[in-house]
């Protein structure tokens, strides 16, 4: 339909995509075979059948298990190439891509292997796919601030290879404020700052991300709607939220898309952007998220284009490329 083509065709910037969440079951099996790993699933369909989640943790369990097939730099290159091909087909022109270094280093894969592999794909993404890219390294909040601090030391040896840092993994019980020192050190090194907050956690975690960590964007942030004062603050200071509609439904943050808080955030004047989070696990890439909000929430073409413009505004793009995308 024309609806479909609009949602996919609008040029997009994606600001919330975990590259490990773009691991498609077909690649999981190919890499398992290449690396001599036996998977506890008969095949691709059985694995895909496991993608049924009750909450964030039930997803994370599968997500961390799945990425165990990523071993060599070439594996990470193929992962990123697969994302770029699918993103390009859905109109993506710029992507600021998360990766989880600790999820690899703690199982014996060196940070350098991860960075070399991702960069071998991403350094030519604009030429090959028309997608400019940046990398954001996320700390796993459930592993604590001391390990995050040591990972930051290691990341700073590769300072020029990343644009910023983020904070992800199991949110409840792991408030942003715990990472104040780590984020302050990263800021001093000139890194851009983002954090997941208000996905499952309370509005208070969003306040902490803003006022203790000083983040420039909030990832998810949908629980902000529980706190009118917070919504006013986000709107007044034009602090972007990277909203991931299909993710919120699949992780049961909301019963169905029609009940999603996105329209209320938009009405309150919040700078909302649309993103895929973990596209292989949540039923679609960013264009599929645009299509879903068009169909289920009634956002029209003008509204979809505004979401896409919001992402350019919320991006860490240099001005010359920013102008090309507006």
Number of residues that bind ligand ADE (CB under 6 A): 11
Among 75, 199, 288, 294, binds ligand ADE (CB under 6 A): 199
> Where are the strands (E) in 100-216, listed by range?
132-140, 164-168, 192-197
Among 17, 56, 155, 194, binds ligand ADE (CB under 6 A): 56
Interacting partner of 242 out of Zn ion, ligand ADE, none (Cβ under 5 to 8 A depending on kind): none
Query: What is the CB neighbour count within 10 angstroms for residue 320?
Result: 7
Residue bearing tokens 């028309």: 130
Q: Which residues on neighbouring strands pair with residue 194, listed in sequence order?
A: 217
* Shortest CB 130 distance to ligand ADE, Å: 26
- 323 is a catalytic site residue: no
| CA 29/CA 44 separation, integer angstroms | 7
Residue bearing tokens 């991702």: 118
Choose between 6 and 220: whose C-beta lies nearer to ligand ADE. Answer: 220
**Rule CB under 5 A: which residues touch Zn ion?**
277
| CA 199/CA 57 separation, integer angstroms | 12
Among 278, 314, 315, 317, binds ligand ADE (CB under 6 A): 278
CB contact set of 223 (below 8 Å; sequence gap of 6+):
198, 199, 200, 201, 202, 203, 205, 206
Site string for ligand ADE, 61-80 (x = CB under 6 A): --x-----------------
Positions in 131-190 near ligand ADE (CB under 6 A)? 168-169
Interacting partner of 217 out of Zn ion, ligand ADE, none (Cβ under 5 to 8 A depending on kind): none
Angle between helices 286-297 and 301-314 (to 10 degrees): 140
Options 134, 171, 199, 200, the catalytic residue? 199
* Shortest CB 114 distance to ligand ADE, Å: 15
- Annotated binding-site residues for substrate read 278
Interacting partner of 75 out of Zn ion, ligand ADE, none (Cβ under 5 to 8 A depending on kind): none
CB contact set of 176 (below 8 Å; sequence gap of 6+):
141, 167, 195, 197, 205, 208, 209, 212, 213, 215
CB-based closest residue to ligand ADE: 168
- Annotated binding-site residues for Zn(2+) read 16, 18, 196, 277
Among 102, 247, 289, 311, binds ligand ADE (CB under 6 A): 247
- What does 9-51 look like in DSSP terms, one character per residue? HS-EEEEEEEGGGG--HHHHHHHHHHTT---SSSSHHHHHHT-
Active site (catalytic) residues: 199
Residues lying near ligand ADE in the complex (CB under 6 A): 18, 21, 56, 63, 168-169, 196, 199, 247, 277-278
């Amino acid at each position: 339909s024309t609806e479909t083509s609009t949602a996919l065709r609008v040029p997009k910037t994606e600001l919330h995509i975990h590259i490990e969440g773009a691991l498609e079951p077909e690649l999981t099996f190919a890499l398992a075979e290449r690396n001599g790993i036996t998977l506890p699933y008969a095949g691709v369909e059985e694995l895909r059948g496991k993608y049924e989640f009750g909450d964030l943790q039930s997803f994370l369990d599968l997500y961390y298990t799945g990425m165990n097939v990523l071993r060599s730099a070439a594996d990470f290159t193929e992962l990123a190439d697969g994302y770029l091909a699918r993103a390009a087909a859905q109109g993506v022109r710029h992507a600021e891509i998360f990766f989880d270094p600790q999820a690899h280093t703690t199982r014996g894969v060196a940070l350098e292997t991860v960075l070399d592999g991702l960069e071998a794909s991403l350094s030519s993404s604009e030429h090959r796919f028309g997608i400019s890219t940046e990398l954001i390294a996320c700390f796993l909040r459930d592993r604590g601030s001391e390990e995050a601090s040591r990972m930051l030391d290691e990341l700073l040896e590769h300072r020029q290879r990343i644009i910023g840092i983020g904070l992800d993994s199991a949110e409840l019980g792991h408030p942003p404020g715990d990472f104040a020192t780590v984020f302050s050190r990263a800021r001093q090194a000139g890194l851009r700052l983002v954090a997941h907050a208000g996905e499952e956690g309370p509005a208070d975690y969003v306040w902490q991300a803003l006022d203790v960590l000083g983040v420039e964007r909030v990832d998810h942030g949908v629980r902000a709607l529980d706190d009118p004062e917070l919504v006013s603050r986000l709107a007044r200071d034009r602090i972007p939220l990277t909203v991931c509609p299909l993710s919120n439904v699949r992780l049961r943050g909301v019963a169905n898309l029609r009940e999603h808080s996105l329209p209320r955030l938009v009405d309150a004047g919040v700078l909302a952007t649309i993103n895929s989070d973990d596209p292989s696990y949540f039923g679609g890439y960013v264009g599929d998220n645009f299509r879903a909000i068009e169909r289920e929430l009634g956002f029209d073409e003008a509204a979809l284009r505004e979401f896409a413009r919001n992402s350019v505004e919320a991006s860490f793009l240099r001005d010359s490329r920013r102008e090309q995308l507006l």
